């Protein structure tokens, strides 16, 4: 009986594993107090598929999968912040991603490739004091189109689910990094991008200065 319990505990602890790293600027509270609105930009996304999964897709399809994933993550982040805003725990406004992406496109900026621009330049274009950027890697696509397409080829079987998010909150007046949040999880990622964001952002809302 004890052996069964030990095996069960081992499986339980390995079914969901998370690593979290958080950096907060010493003057973060000052930066937050000077922030009225922040914008969430599409992250640099890479869906890491296994070789037997990759062979079913062209490079163009993989690129589109990453872009779809980036937009879903962006929307998921926006919803997460809006929920905190409704609860009264978000200290700043958050720009609608539809507005963010539209403004950038009108300025001729590729929303999936803006690294040549300084945060201060992006902030001036978007009219915000803080921008959220970063990277995201996953072994399982969460956007509906990508997930359905991959399931057709794999029979719904994926490699062990894992995801890593590296997210920067950058002040646009002086290009200073205010918060860096890095989290890696393995195990159950949820059924869609919103579930994944809720898991990735779990317990961090009270640790970043933009929320309370």
Token pair recorded at residue 95: 């720009």
Only one residue has tokens 């004890």, namely: 2
Total residue length of the chain: 212
Only one residue has tokens 């990094």, namely: 177
Give 183's strand partners: 20, 165
18-36 burial, b for 16+ CB within 10 Å, e for fewer? eeeeeebbeebeebbeebe
Give 22's strand partners: 181
CA distances from 128 to 36, 84, 85, 147, 170 (A): 7, 19, 17, 33, 11
List per-residue pLDDT tens for the chain, 212 residues long. 444 344 334 333 333 445 889 999 999 999 999 999 999 999 999 887 766 666 777 888 888 888 998 999 999 999 999 999 999 999 999 999 999 999 999 999 999 999 999 999 999 999 999 999 999 988 766 554 444 444 444 444 444 477 888 999 999 999 999 999 999 887 555 557 777 788 888 767 778 999 98
For the question of whether the overall pTM of this predicted structure is more than 0.85, the answer is no
102 vs 109: CA distance, rounded Å: 10
């Amino acid at each position: 009986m004890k052996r069964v319990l030990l095996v069960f505990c081992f499986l339980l602890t390995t079914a969901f594993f998370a690593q979290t790293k958080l950096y907060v600027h010493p003057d973060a509270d000052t930066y937050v107090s000077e922030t009225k609105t922040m914008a969430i930009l599409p992250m640099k996304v890479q869906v890491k598929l296994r070789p037997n999964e990759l062979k079913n897709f062209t490079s163009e399809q993989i690129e589109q999968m990453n872009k779809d994933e980036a937009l879903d993550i962006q929307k998921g982040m926006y919803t997460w912040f809006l929920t905190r805003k409704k609860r009264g725990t978000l200290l700043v406004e958050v720009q609608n991603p539809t507005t963010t992406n539209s403004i950038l496109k009108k300025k001729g900026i590729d929303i999936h490739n803006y690294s040549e621009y300084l945060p201060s330049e992006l902030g001036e274009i978007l009219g915000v004091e803080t921008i959220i950027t970063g990277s995201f890697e996953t072994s399982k696509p969460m956007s509906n189109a990508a997930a359905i397409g991959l399931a057709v080829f794999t029979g719904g079987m994926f490699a062990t689910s894992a995801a890593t998010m590296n997210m920067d909150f950058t002040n646009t007046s002086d290009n200073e990094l205010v918060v860096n949040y890095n989290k890696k999880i393995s195990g159950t990622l949820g059924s869609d991008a919103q579930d994944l964001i809720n898991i990735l952002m779990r317990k961090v809302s009270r640790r970043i200065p933009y929320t309370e």
